[in-house]
């Protein structure tokens, strides 16, 4: 299947607030797709209260043909926050190519005033090849009492090359921002447990050069990097933050 869109090429959602009557989005296979243009290649959320699980994606060409005028913002994206609840788990991606990279310009998210993350710190809105944003647009949700769970994600064989005339293929290669406990504003004390993003494996990936710090992590447990090449550095490590 070939996609030419003005927004995300594939967006997977499962309802918001009490809109959960159809249960989780699950058992999806996405394969052998060409994505000529769009803002996101594959996006899960942000409406995911009923949960998203067992999503399999492979053999994807994200061509970013409009890189000069309307570039791809993010290749693989998860977005949720403390109002979206639900669980994202068992998401498997392999063999993704980006011959023209993604947007090289940052678009920083706006944290709430009491957030431990200063404004202008992380470009969750665009520029990351792999982006998990678990504090997505927190100011848009007045009620923030239902932390999400994101776990067991496997991403393999993702390669990105700079577009013509550019030295970089992205702004930041990997962004994993877990849920921010300080955003909770309910009356229940103690507040609910806010779990870190956990059990993430990224292997055999080459996002090429980038224009910022290669990896950003917040509230992440056991991110396993195996043969991940960013610029001149090969990462083989298990990281938590």
Nearest by Cα to 157 from 100, 197, 203, 117: 203
What was the pLDDT predicted at 17? 84
Edge-first strand listing for the sheet containing 172-177: 10-12, 40-45, 74-79, 128-133, 172-177, 215-218
Q: What's residue 213's pLDDT?
A: 84
Residue 22 has a CB neighbour count (10 Å cut-off) of 9
Cis peptide, bond prior to residue 38, ω within 30 of zero: no
Nearest by Cα to 124 from 116, 134, 115: 134
In whole angstroms, give the CA distance from residue 70 to residue 36: 11
CB 70 within 8 A of CB 37: yes
Q: CA-based Rg of the chain, rounded to a whole angstrom?
A: 17
Closest CA to 14 of 51, 55, 57, 56: 51
User: 182 by DSSP, 3-state: which?
Assistant: helix
Q: State the Cα–Cα distance between residues 99 and 117, nearest whole angstrom.
A: 33
Could you read off the pLDDT tens digit of each residue along the chain, which spans 241 residues? Answer: 999 998 999 999 999 888 888 999 999 999 999 999 999 999 999 999 999 999 999 999 999 999 999 999 999 999 999 998 899 999 999 999 999 999 999 999 999 998 999 999 999 999 999 999 999 999 998 999 999 999 999 999 999 999 999 999 999 999 999 999 999 999 988 999 999 999 999 999 998 877 778 999 999 999 999 999 998 899 999 999 9
**Amino acid 126: pLDDT:** 95
* CA atoms of 186 and 189, how far apart (whole Å): 8
Strand pairing report for 197-205 and 74-79:
unpaired
């Amino acid at each position: 299947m070939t996609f030419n869109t003005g927004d995300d090429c594939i967006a997977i959602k499962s309802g918001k607030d009490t809109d959960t009557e159809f249960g989780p989005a699950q058992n999806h296979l996405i394969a052998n797709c060409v994505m000529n243009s769009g803002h996101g290649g594959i996006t899960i959320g942000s409406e995911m209260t009923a949960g998203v699980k067992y999503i399999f994606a492979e053999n994807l060409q994200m061509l970013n043909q409009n890189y000069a005028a309307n570039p791809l913002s993010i290749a693989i994206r998860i977005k949720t926050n403390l109002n979206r609840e639900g669980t994202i788990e068992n998401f498997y991606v392999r063999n993704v190519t980006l011959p023209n990279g993604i947007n090289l310009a940052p678009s920083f998210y706006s944290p709430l005033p009491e957030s431990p993350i200063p404004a202008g710190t992380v470009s969750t809105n665009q520029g990351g090849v792999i982006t998990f944003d678990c504090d997505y647009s927190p100011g848009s949700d007045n009620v923030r009492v239902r932390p999400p769970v994101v776990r067991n994600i496997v991403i393999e064989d993702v390669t990105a090359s700079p577009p013509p005339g550019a030295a970089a293929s992205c702004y930041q290669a990997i962004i994993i921002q877990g849920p921010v406990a300080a955003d909770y504003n309910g009356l229940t004390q103690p507040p609910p447990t806010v779990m870190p993003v956990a059990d993430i494996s990224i292997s055999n990936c080459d996002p090429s050069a980038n224009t910022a710090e290669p990896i950003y992590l917040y509230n992440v447990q056991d991110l396993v990097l195996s043969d991940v090449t960013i610029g001149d550095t090969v990462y083989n490590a298990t990281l938590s933050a």
